[in-house]
Every structure is written in structure tokens, then in C-alpha cells.
Amino acid sequence: MAVLLTGAALGTATVAADAAPAADARSTVRNAAHTTACPTGWGSRDKTRVAGTTTPVRDVRTGRHACFDRMVVDVPGADADHLGHFVRYVDRLHQDGSGRPIAVGGGAVLEVRVAAPGYRPDTGAPTYPGRTGRPLPDVDLTGYRTFRDTRFAGSFEGETQIGLGVRARLPFRVLALDGRVVVDVAHSWSGTR
């Protein structure tokens, strides 16, 4: 009996191959799937990692997950130890260097700075096709629960800056991994999806 309850709590149930599950068991499994526990404790304060690389940004992509929306800044060849970032909520996004305001849609705006250039340091040739003040190329946020808008703010003095518009000020985390910086923004504060 304890095994069956544990399985139901995890959103799964074990049933003999020749037995048909009872309506109550199906209902329990369905309800458990709708209350999936999500990570909590991320918070909404600034997240900073002091490091830097001259390896350039090549792409920015997004993805939808059960508990959060994800943005990935690809920096192929960069070691995680050298991928710095500064991510924070701002009232308004201002472009580095010029100070020019960039409008970003959504109920709240995350400023995402990755300590990697969007250009080749030796030639200045762009490595990422983003245009200042415009939505990120090839990023479609249709169907996302949290993300609302993206804007490229440019690359200045070895840092690439992006505005990420989200539904509301929600908890987020930032991960520096080999070849990429990941920003996850939760769907809610409650820890359920």
C-alpha cells in the first residue's frame, strides 16, 4: 500500500498489465500531474558572476519547460569558469555606451549581460546578427507562459546586453555552463506549475 501511495504522489501508478485502472486511480494520477512541484528559492534579486571571455556570442535561443521559460546565450568554446554575467530586473533598459532607452514589452524587464562580445575582438566583425533595439533574430515567444519580449541592446566593451520582457517580476536563476549562459524564469512564485 505504501508503494502505491508513493507512486501516486509522484504522478505515476503501477498497474498489472491485465488490470484496468479504476476511475479513481486515473483521477489521482491526472491531478498529480497538474500539481508538479517546481524548483523554488530562486528569488528575484540580481545574479552576478564575475568573469569574462573574448570568445564571442554566436546565438541566443529560448525554450519552454514545465516550470519555467529558458533563454540560452550560446558562446561555443567558452569555458564555464570564464563566462561571467549580470542579470537583474530594471525599470527600463538602457543601452550600454549611449545610455539610449530601449523599450521592452512585458510586465517586468530583465537586463541580461553576458561577459562575452557579440563580435570578433580581433576584427570587430559581428558574430551575432542582433540589431540594436530590435527583437532577437529567430526567437518566437508564441505560447510562452512567462516570456513576452526580447530586445538586443548591443555589445559594448566585451559584454553582450539583452532585454528580456517577462509577464511579471518572477523568480529566476542563471547558470554558467561550458559554452553557454542559461537564464530560467519561473512561471510562478508558488513552486507549482
- What are the residue boundaries of the structural domains of the chain, listed by start? 2-34, 47-186
Number of H helices, E strands in the chain: 2, 11
Predicted TM-score (pTM) of the model is 0.80
Distance CA 184, CA 175 (A): 8
Model confidence at 146: pLDDT above 50: yes
What DSSP assignment string belongs to 12-70?
Answer: -----TTPPPPHHHHHHHHHHHHT-B------SS-EEE----SSPP-EEEEEE-SSEEE
pLDDT at 12: 31
As its CATH architecture, domain 47-186 has Sandwich (2.60)
Q: What mean pLDDT do residues 104-129 have?
A: 96
pLDDT digits (tens, 9 = 90+) for 147-174: 999 999 999 999 999 999 999 999 999 9
